[in-house]
Amino acid sequence: MKKVIKYLLVFGLSLCNLYGCSSKSLLDKDNPVTLTMWHVYGEQANSPMNQLIAEFNETEGKDKGIIINVTKITNASKIGSELEESLSKEPGADPMPDLYTGHIHNAKQVGLDKSIVWNDVFTEKEISNFVDEFLDAGMLEDKLVDLPLSKSTIVLFMNGTQFEKFSNDTAVSLNDFDTWNQTFDVAEKYYEWSNGKPLLCFDYLLNSIESYAIALGSKHMYNENGWYNTDDKEFQEAFRTFLEPLIKGHISASDFYSSTELTTGETLIGVSSSAAYLYLNDIVTYPDNTTEPLNAIALPYPKADKDHALMTQAGVGLCAYKTTEQKQEAASVFAHWLVEPKRNMDFVIQAGYMLVTKKAFKNLKNEKFEDKETQSLYNTLTEMKSDYTVISREVPNAISRKAYAFYDQVRSHQQEWQARANAGEDIDEIVDEAMNILKSLS
């Protein structure tokens, strides 16, 4: 009889390992647990994330005994320092949230031992449904701590109304933006046609320089401080490729978001995150107060050349601060609800992001959108996901601050550089000045 009991126990444990044994839930709908949350999805009242959380609290959360309470809406460049203040318990700092949206370097700040590992609450089959490259970006010591929620990449947003006029006068077509060399040729034509306006305004000029250097084969782009290695030949070539048209006034670096320059008519195209779609106005208002429809067109990010199509990966994931088992279960319920394919698709489309699951990307090809602008964006994202190689790089907060300092310097010098270039000064010398500014920030 003892042997029979022993074999039954072993068999039962085997079944548990094979199918999973569910322990008693720690959640109680009559005594709900509250999870505090910080997120970066738009500070406006009708933020798509706020709408989702309200829906969860009234449905799944109500049924299971979970309340998600948003205590801070911030942005991706600030959340790192805010987490740091909370972790170090600085005077006046907010308590650490149970949930936050961030990048993998934010999860590193918190630490693996203080983070919920999503592999522990999602099955292997569920995890395998996410896009592989997006999963890779959320790993810390081979543990998934930054759950893919929405991803963005850099695209071109164009003023379709103005482009039609420009195209009619110059015969430039949308096919002329395939590579950066082609695009910069168009920029020169637009500068002449528009009486001195830049064709392109970049949110993050250094990101484009980085991608171009990677396409050229750069292997030593960064120095020991994590800043740019200005002696790297491929980086030097990439830097020169973008700084020359900037010095000539054919392109510009935005004051944080190019969507502003785009919708005030200061530029024809904004080079920005696909998520900037959330902030685009439908109307362009020019300095003389005349207006016209934007009729936004999204175009794929230009290739370095015909053989090198690279797309950056950005966008935050969902991270959870590890405290109690009850809160871990609640976080798991919310995370599963949030990434359900149809719900995730509805969310990312509102915000201009890419979907995070393989199945959703396949379904996107058959999706019909209500307006041409959204259809244009998701046609572009689908094309890029199919034809481009995804690249990503962690950008610590200190590096981001240096990048913004560089952009401030570029903007302060651009008019002077342009005047000197128009006066016939050697552009190479001005490019070297810009490189020295970059070097001084190391």
DSSP string, 274-323: GGGGGG--SEEE-TTS-EEE---EEEPPPBSBTTB-EEE-B--EEEEB--
- Tell me the three state secondary structure of residue 129: coil
Higher pLDDT, 159 or 74: 159
* Position 30 pLDDT exceeds 80: yes
297, 174 contact by CB (below 8 A):
yes
What pLDDT band is residue 397 in, cutting at 50, 70 and 90?
low
* Position 329 pLDDT exceeds 90: yes
Task: Give long-range contacts, CB 8 A cutoff, 24+ apart: 141-145.
Answer: 141/112, 143/112, 143/117, 143/119, 144/117, 144/118, 144/119, 145/104, 145/107, 145/112, 145/115, 145/116, 145/117, 145/118, 145/319
Distance of CA 45 to the CA centre of its chain: 21
Is domain 154-313+382-440 classified as CATH 3.40.190.10? Answer: yes
Where along the chain do the CATH 3.40.190.10 domains lie? 24-152+315-364, 154-313+382-440
Mean pLDDT value of segment 380-399:
79
Question: What percentage of the chain carries pLDDT values higher than 70?
Answer: 92
Task: Centre a 10 Å sphere on the Cβ of residue 271 and count the other Cβ atoms it contains.
Answer: 28
Q: Which fold has domain 24-152+315-364?
A: D-Maltodextrin-Binding Protein; domain 2 (3.40.190)
Strand partners, 318: 101, 147
Distances (CA, A) of 352 to 190, 344, 376: 27, 12, 11
Task: Give long-range contacts, CB 8 A cutoff, 24+ apart: 400-403.
Answer: 400/77, 402/227, 402/441, 403/204, 403/206
Provide the whole-model pTM: 0.81
Distance from C-alpha of 404 to C-alpha of 102, rounded to nearest angstrom: 19
Contacts of 346 (CB under 8 A, 6+ apart): none
Q: What are the backbone dihedrals phi and psi of residue 99, each rounded to the nearest 5 degrees, phi first?
A: -130, 145
Mean pLDDT value of segment 321-344:
94
